[in-house]
């Protein structure tokens, strides 16, 4: 299977461990990724906070580029990117005048034919039975708190993915890998997202609650499918511990890390050894 | 005259159940809570809503909009208030870290097409320093930098887009009717 690939800025920056992990594990599953040529930033929170039109135009340019290359489907492993791409796609598909205006603004006409997938959807496309059959080292002893955060499921009418209050698609992947997922309360609570630099206290407080609840329900790791969630829970964990005087020592995995491990890939190949909290 | 698209955001339908505020992870930090902001906008108190700092605490998690039993787009109200406040911020708002961050972010992607993280940290900190003279803030994340470098997570040169000019033109076309929105 070959998919178009929209890495987004985070995976080409601080979260390059996520990109290594996604690429290695999908390669092992026979999924080829072809990067959308000359993609640009989706605009993220800054664009939708400050200019509505810009928040449609930036993702629209990427959809148009992907369509020009003939991609029927693209993977956007960052939920912020995939939400912005999906939102823009829905808007232009339902409004011909807006579509024409966007074609003019982004200098490329497009129909909105490319669909956008998150990482979990790609695993579902490969097939959980196929993944299960490919497992070489089952994740015995793993007790994962699957953490979805905000934008994998919200807003539900845009994402149309899983249950927005009680999602379970990551748990199904963990089960296929031979691991155990714990029930807990903070699956869809916000970690503070892009406030990491601008309003750090919010991030530290919210992320502390998430880590605390995961541990209270017996988890020995938290699993994410979002670069921002990983930054806030992993890279900022030492700051959380300093602020709250509570030791967490919680390992945070990308979902692709665990799929890759179960398929027999090394922590180094998957970039796990570059996490801040690394228990081996 | 301030324009808030109250119909599109379904503000009139709010009956003050408070579910938005109950689920909001940052309501406790806001000077006016989400249900109070919606009420203000519903009653035409646009100026008071824009003068609030609530929207600059909002983390855009979409929980309020998702849970609203009347489909009021509360997160959309916050977006609109941010856009209006960014156009003509009060001196208090102009110093707010979040507003300075969003402007630095957009400037950065306008310039490079993609985010250059190191440059963003630099311009954001410089902006905060210029407005607030917060010296500790300048060095707050300095300890993180060597640990990020060690892990290959800090790139000195960010990725750039070949056709960067098109990004500038997209910005111009989106912002042209809005007086170029200050610093962006």
Token readout for A221 is: 């790791």
pLDDT at A27: 98
Core vs surface per residue A1-11: b (16+ CB within 10 A) or e? eebbbbbbbbb
Q: Which among B106, B155, B178 has the least Cβ separation from residue A46?
A: B106
Q: Contacts of residue B147 in chain A, CB cutoff 8 Å?
A: 276
The angle formed by the CA atoms of residues A224, A227 and A230, to the nearest 5 degrees, is: 55
Q: What is the CA radius of gyration of chain A?
A: 18
Is residue A136 within 8 A of residue A261, CB to CB? The reply is: no
Q: Which of A49, A106, A276 sits opposite B170 (nearest CB)?
A: A106
* Beta carbons of B97 and A199 less than 8 Å apart: yes
Query: Cβ(B12)–Cβ(B76) under 8 Å?
Result: no
Query: What architecture (CATH level 2) is domain B11-88?
Result: Orthogonal Bundle (1.10)
Contact yes or no for A38 and B100 at CB 8 A: no
User: Which helix or strand (DSSP H or E) is residue B42 part of?
Assistant: helix B34-42
Q: How far, CA to CA in Å, does B144 sit from each of A128, B107, B151, B153, B179?
A: 38, 24, 11, 11, 38
For the ranges A117-126, A190-199, B25-34, the lowest mean pLDDT is seen at A190-199
Q: What is the pLDDT of residue B151?
A: 87
Residues of A in contact with B121 (CB under 8 A): 197
Residue B95 contacts A, CB cutoff 8 Å: no
Specify the pLDDT at position A34. Answer: 98
- Closest approach of chain B CAs to the CA of A134, in angstroms? 30
Q: Torsions phi, psi of A180, nearest 5?
A: -115, 140
**Which pLDDT score, from 0 to 100, does residue B154 have?**
80
Residue A47, min C-alpha distance to chain B (Å): 7
B65 touches chain A (CB under 8 A): yes
Q: Rounded mean pLDDT of chain A?
A: 96
> Which CATH number is associated with domain A136-274?
3.40.50.11810
Residue B42 has pLDDT above 50, yes or no: yes
Q: In this predicted complex, what is the ipTM?
A: 0.93
Residue in A17, A52, A107 closest to B166 by CB: A107
Tell whether the model's pLDDT for residue A280 goes beyond 70.
Answer: no
Q: Is the pLDDT of residue B25 over 90?
A: yes
Q: Looking at CA atoms only, how far is residue A164 from chain B in angstroms?
A: 8
In chain A, where the domains are located: 2-119, 136-274
Domain boundaries along the sequence of chain B:
11-88, 95-177
| Cross-chain residue pair B161–A38, CB shorter than 8 Å | yes
Query: Any CB–CB contact under 8 A between B5 and chain A?
Result: no
- Interface contact A154-B162, CB threshold 8 A: no
pLDDT value at position B137? 77
| A240 vs B contacts (CB less than 8 Å) | none
Count the Cβ atoms, other than its own, within 10 Å of residue A15: 26
pLDDT tens-digit map of B51-81: 999 999 999 999 999 999 999 999 999 999 9
Residue B158's pLDDT is what?
62
pLDDT, one tens digit per residue, over A69-115 is: 999 999 999 999 999 999 999 999 999 999 999 999 999 999 999 99
Cα distances (Å, whole numbers) of residue B58 to A49, A158, A190, A217, B17: 10, 20, 11, 28, 19
Residue B155: φ, ψ to 5°: -100, 135
pLDDT at position A279 is 67
Q: pLDDT band at residue B2, thresholds of 50, 70 and 90? A: low
For chain A, how are helix, strand and coil distributed in percent, rounded to 5?
50, 10, 40
Pairwise CB contact (< 8 Å): A198 & B121: no
Question: Of A39, A51, A100, which to mutate for an interface test with B (greatest number of B Cβ within 10 Å)?
Answer: A51
Quick one: average pLDDT of B143-152?
Answer: 84
Q: CATH code for A2-119?
A: 1.20.1050.140
Q: Is A49 close to B83, i.e. CB distance below 8 A?
A: yes
- CA–CA separation, A184 vs A218, rounded Å? 9
Q: Are A84 and A55 in contact (CB under 8 A)?
A: yes
pLDDT at A253 over 50: yes
pLDDT at A2 over 60: yes
Give the confidence band of A232 by pLDDT, cuts at 50, 70, 90.
very high
């Amino acid at each position: 299977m070959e998919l178009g690939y929209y890495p987004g800025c985070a995976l080409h920056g601080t979260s390059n461990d996520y990109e290594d992990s996604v690429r290695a594990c999908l390669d092992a599953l026979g999924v080829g990724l072809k990067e959308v040529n000359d993609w640009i930033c989706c605009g993220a929170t800054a664009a939708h906070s400050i200019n509505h039109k810009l928040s449609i135009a930036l993702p629209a340019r990427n959809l148009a580029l992907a369509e020009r290359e003939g991609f029927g489907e693209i993977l956007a492993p960052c939920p912020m990117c995939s939400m912005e791409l999906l939102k823009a796609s829905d808007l232009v598909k339902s409004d011909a005048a807006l579509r024409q205006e966007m074609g003019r603004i982004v200098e490329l006409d497009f129909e909105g034919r490319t669909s956008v997938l998150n990482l979990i959807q790609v695993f579902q496309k490969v097939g959980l039975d196929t993944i299960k059959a490919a497992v070489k080292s089952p994740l015995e002893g793993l007790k994962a708190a699957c953490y979805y955060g905000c934008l994998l499921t919200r807003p539900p009418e845009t994402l149309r993915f899983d249950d927005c209050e009680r999602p379970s698609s990551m748990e199904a992947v963990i089960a296929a890998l031979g691991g155990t997922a714990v029930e807990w309360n903070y699956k869809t609570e916000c970690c503070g997202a892009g406030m990491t630099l601008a309003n750090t206290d919010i991030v530290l407080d919210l992320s502390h609650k998430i880590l605390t609840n995961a541990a209270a329900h017996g988890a020995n790791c938290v699993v994410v499918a979002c670069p921002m969630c990983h930054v806030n829970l992993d890279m900022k964990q030492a700051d959380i511990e300093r602020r709250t005087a509570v030791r967490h020592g919680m390992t945070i995995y990308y979902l692709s890390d665990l799929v890759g491990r179960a398929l027999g890939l090394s922590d180094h190949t998957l970039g796990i050894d570059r996490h801040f909290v690394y228990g081996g | 005259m301030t324009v808030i698209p109250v119909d599109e955001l379904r503000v009139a339908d709010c009956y003050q159940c408070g579910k938005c505020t109950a689920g909001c992870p940052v309501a406790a930090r806001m000077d006016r809570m989400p249900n109070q902001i919606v009420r203000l906008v519903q009653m035409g108190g646009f100026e008071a809503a824009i003068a609030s700092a609530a929207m600059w605490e909002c983390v855009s998690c979409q929980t309020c909009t998702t849970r609203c039993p009347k489909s009021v787009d509360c997160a959309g109200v916050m977006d609109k208030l941010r856009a209006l406040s960014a156009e003509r911020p009060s001196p208090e708002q102009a110093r707010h870290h979040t507003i300075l961050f969003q402007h630095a972010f957009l400037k950065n992607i306008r310039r490079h097409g993609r985010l250059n993280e190191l440059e963003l940290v630099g311009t954001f900190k410089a902006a905060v320093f210029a407005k607030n003279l917060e010296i500790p803030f300048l060095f707050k994340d300095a300890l993180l930098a060597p640990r990020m470098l060690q892990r290959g997570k800090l790139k000195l040169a960010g990725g750039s887009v070949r056709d960067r000019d098109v990004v500038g033109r997209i910005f111009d076309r989106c912002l042209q009717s809005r007086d170029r929105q200050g610093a962006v």
